[in-house]
């Protein structure tokens, strides 16, 4: 790993940890630099703002940087979605992610510009990957060609988000039940 | 209307408006009293904390105080749920509710005790009313007796919440599509 890669990873991890500890309002470039052991000019060389650092941190740390970002496609939509939603349940239940994600979500509720940046940099690309997997299922005859894929994404992922937001019970069995019921509904129409 | 009822309503409206303007952290009993034109002792006579005032404000202002809180039950589950979800869409799209609800949601993300109070005072009673309507549908043979009613509530209401949270398009047609697809899934299992 080159030295700049190591600094970059240290900065992203520091931003991710700090926002969970102090909240978005009190997150500063100075604080991130101190935690990461770099000068703040190093951060400003790569990112224009604390929001930009934080979104890159969420991107880098919530997915395998070497891995293919596409959703699994074994040809069995139900099995693939259960795998993905169970992984989402595991991530939402991981205490390392919980505080940073709550801090970012709270900040976006009060800050439409931050919410728009999140939508553009994180949410839209993730929705595109989900839609791509569902479109592949349509081509394979596993979902009706007229199914509304945006509705499908919401039916599959929103119940997990609701339970996480309200700190309700969130289990792999719940993920399975959501997949089975949502797919049955999409196929029955 | 008795004088104390008028004061009570003025206090609840002031709390509801103020939290949308200044956020939960900066909401104070003094501020509510000044906006409502009452002394702060009047507020402390009825409520122990700003959170208690605010939850009563959400309860009082988000539903018809004279009305029956139960969900409509005409015998046609799909029609009744469309009516209710369209009303939810209208409420979530109303600018008077938007800022107070975002402020409260953001505060709960950072404050587990406030979230627990919300769960107990508002969310649990509302979920009970939703479950009661779905149970009546089971008794009428409109939903399978083995349907998981907690899953049903999440499938029906979470997609609306997700779109509101992320400021995505939220229309009556979307509410109808959610009802149709979720019910088809619950009936197909």
pLDDT digits (tens, 9 = 90+) for B51-69: 889 988 988 876 665 667 7
Q: Are B178 and B160 in contact (CB under 8 A)?
A: yes
Structure tokens at B59: 């309860």
- The interface pTM score, or ipTM, of the predicted complex is 0.88
Domain boundaries, chain A: 3-61, 77-188
Please identify every stretch of chain B with a pLDDT value under 70, giving residue numbers as ranges: 1, 62-67, 189
Q: Are B144 and B187 in contact (CB under 8 A)?
A: yes
What percentage of chain B exceeds 90 in pLDDT? 66
Q: Which of B119, B153, B159 to mutate to test binding with chain A, by most A CBs within 10 Å of its CB?
A: B159
Closest chain B residue to the Cα of A102, Cα to Cα: B109
Structure tokens at B20: 């949308």
Question: Helical H runs in A62-171?
Answer: 77-92, 95-110, 112-118, 124-139, 149-165
Contacts of A69 (CB under 8 A, 6+ apart): A63, A125, A129
Closest partner residue to B110 (CB to CB) among A102, A112, A182 is A102
Contacts of B117 (CB under 8 A, 6+ apart): B51, B55
pLDDT value of position B14: 95
Q: According to the CATH classification, is domain A77-188 in 1.10.357.10?
A: yes
Domain covering B3-61: architecture: Orthogonal Bundle (1.10)
Nearest Cα to Cα of residue A111 among A43, A49, A21: A49
Tell me A25's DSSP state: T
Q: Are B163 and A150 in contact (CB under 8 A)?
A: no
pLDDT value of position A46: 93
Q: Which residues in chain B are contacts of A187 at CB distance < 8 A?
A: 188
The dihedral over CA atoms of A101, A84, B171, A108, expressed in degrees to the nearest 10, equals: 10
Please identify every stretch of chain A with a pLDDT value under 70, giving residue numbers as ranges: 1, 62-67, 189
Q: Are B82 and B175 in contact (CB under 8 A)?
A: yes
């Amino acid at each position: 790993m080159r030295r700049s890669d190591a600094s970059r990873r240290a900065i992203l991890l520091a931003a991710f940890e700090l926002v969970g500890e102090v909240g978005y309002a009190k997150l500063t470039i100075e604080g991130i630099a101190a935690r990461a052991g770099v000068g703040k000019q190093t951060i400003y060389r790569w990112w224009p703002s604390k929001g930009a650092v934080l979104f890159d941190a969420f991107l880098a740390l919530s997915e395998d940087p070497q891995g293919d970002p596409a959703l699994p496609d074994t040809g069995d939509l139900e099995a693939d979605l259960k795998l993905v939603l169970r992984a989402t349940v595991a991530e939402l239940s991981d205490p390392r992610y919980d505080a940073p994600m709550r801090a970012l979500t709270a900040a976006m509720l009060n800050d439409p510009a931050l919410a728009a940046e999140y939508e553009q940099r994180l949410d839209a690309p993730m929705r595109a990957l989900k839609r791509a997997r569902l479109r592949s299922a349509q081509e394979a005859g596993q979902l009706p060609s007229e199914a509304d894929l945006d509705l499908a994404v919401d039916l599959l992922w929103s119940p997990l988000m609701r339970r996480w937001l309200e700190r309700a019970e969130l289990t792999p069995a719940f993920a399975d039940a959501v997949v089975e019921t949502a797919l049955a509904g999409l196929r029955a129409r």
